[in-house]
Structure 1
Amino acid sequence: MKEFKNPLTQKEITELKDKFGNYLKLTIDLEKEIVVAGCLLHADGETRLLREGSKQSDIWGGGIDLANKVIDTTAVLNLRPNQDNNSLEIIDADKRKKFINIVKDFFQKLWP
């Protein structure tokens, strides 16, 4: 598991792929724009972000398939009835769009 506050270099992406394979679980603080990649469970990334002062309401999970450049916004930690998110998917369109945009920004080297 590794934390990023800036877009990844090609070397960092390659290192993550070598260590974790083509699919990376991502946990992201949407407000602080901090990405934790390579978690065994999204909750591991959530715990790390909470320890660093993130608010749980700002933390969402998903992943990226590095080989196919496909981003998903599905994670068990997204189940949040208290935030009207009764699904594994990020239901709120604005939050989902922000999650996807952060992933595209941090992994921009995949889309030269």
Structure 2
Amino acid sequence: MIIIIKERATKEQVEEMLQTLRVYIKIAVDIEKGILAGGGQQHAECEAALLKDGSKQKDIWGADWIPFTQKMAYESIINIRPSQNNRSMIIQDPAIRERVTQITQSLIGGYEPEFR
């Protein structure tokens, strides 16, 4: 299930997003609106939820959030955008990576899941 997070998530929402992959959460982050969508099996599912919610594709970047270590991975097929100078699955612009991290930490960071 994909959940759009627009303000600080509850522990229950984080647990729900973890249900699919158990050890990490696939997310898509709208760096302009400061929101994210998480859960599901593919970043594209999260991206689609944000697009349906009114986000612009150029503002959405894919990443993974690992709550057990509070770390990020910035690799997703949705990040391949030659038109935005990103020719890799990894977010190449340090400023975009930093914005993705800030939004993710403020919305879903800090929770230690109860199950593993």
* TM-align CA RMSD: 1.6
Q: 2: distance between equivalents of 1:58 and 1:15? A: 25
Could you tell me the percent identity over the aligned residues? 30
Corresponding residue for residue 88 of structure 1: 89
1:24-74 CA-partner distances (Å, limit 9, x unpaired): 000111101121111211111111211222111100000111222211111
Structure 2: stretches of 5+ with no match in the other structure = none
Q: Hey, what's the Cα distance between the residues in 1 that align with 2:37 and 2:47?
A: 8
- Tell me the TM-score normalised to structure 2 length: 0.86
Which sections of structure 1, spanning at least 5 residues, go unmatched? none
| SS of residue in 1 equivalent to 2:4 | strand
Deviation at 1:9, TM superposition (A): 1.9
Q: Which has the higher helix share?
A: 1
Say whether 1:41 aligns with 2:42. Answer: yes
Partner of 1:57: 58
The verdict on how the C-alpha distance between 1:15 and 1:52 changes in structure 2, with shifts beyond 3 A counting, is closer
Q: Runs (4+) of structure 1 moved beyond 6 Å?
A: none
